[in-house]
Amino acid sequence: INSYDEEVIQMFKNFEYGDVKGAIEFFTTRFCKKFLQPIGMLNVILVHLAAWLPAPDCWKRTGADVNVEDSHGITPLLLAGSAIGKMTSNEIYKYNSVVQTLVQGLHQTSFTLIQVFIEPLHTAFKLGCLKAAETLLNVDPPLNKCKKLRTVLYFAASVGITQRYLTHNPVSSFSLWIFTIMKLIEFGDTVFIVLRKQPLIFLHWYHHITVFLCTWHSFGETIGFGSWFSLVNTFIHSYMYSYYALKAMQVRIPKWISIMLTVLQIVQMFWGMVITTSAYYYVHIAQIQCNVTTSNLKFSALMYLSYLILFVNFFAQSYLSNKCVNKAERKNEIKTQ
């Protein structure tokens, strides 16, 4: 254990939430490892498949350009950038050494209650991304060059709703660029609905259009917290579109799964409100210099609030009202008999 490890452990000891270090390590290694790492892998695979998409020159970076500040974003590896096809094994090896220096930023970390419970989720997601990159590119995993404790503590402490994470950097920018392109591709399900002459509900087209506009606006404004939105959205949509794929293959899926997906969507809207409110606090109350504009805060807050109302209404109409109707019909049948 070096001085940086001791510093971090001491921070956690001074942080009055019990055995935070042990709780985070337990939660990350036992639960998130099995649950979120596959999602992280899926994210990297999708980004690799989308790597042929054009991107601005400022985001075409190689392993030699990596620095400590580039370690944030939904895709923690610069390997997921448009430079994937240009990077040699030596350049990738240079990236591995960056992980060893990440702990140097720990003294800038601010601890909040939300980080203790939320960051293990993000940690597992990033570990999944690292594993996927290792498999796809056949290189030595960066995590092998760091002690497990140091890696868990670093990601759990420094990547989240902090001043540094609200700061613009090339990795989060490219992640948002890919995410923006994916929002355009997601209009494809609307095309299939129209071609099949199925009803196009208001929630569907309103959600697709507004999230597309908001994502492009965030990309243009170089919003620092965009990675948080894209992280949660990618996590939920990976399950949602898998569900749609199975439905298209006429696989019979239990109703409780569709209910859970709708609940996850509602949770996502609550999450968006939390992120937006946190960003407002950092910018306008704590007076911290962050890459977040007032116009984007207003846009995001109104969008997520409208989504929350619409999805709650959809849940009530689709599942709660049907149960009431079915119960009434059964009562009528009993009376008739």
Q: Name the residues annotated as catalytic.
A: 207
Task: Kindly report the backbone phi and psi dihedral angles of residue 109, in degrees, each rounded to the nearest multiple of 5, phi listed first.
Answer: -75, 140
Cα(308)–Cα(291) distance, integer angstroms? 25
In order, the DSSP letters of 149-164 are HHHHHHHHHHSSSSTT
Residue 176: name the closest of 62, 81, 68, 101 by CA.
81
Q: What is the DSSP letter of 337?
A: -
What end-to-end distance do the CA atoms of the chain give, in Å?
77
CB 268 within 8 A of CB 154: no
d(CA 50, CA 53): 6
The type of residue at 70 is D
Q: In Å, what is the CA distance from 169 to each residue of 50, 165, 299?
A: 20, 9, 22
Is 143 in contact with 151 (CB distance < 8 Å)?
yes
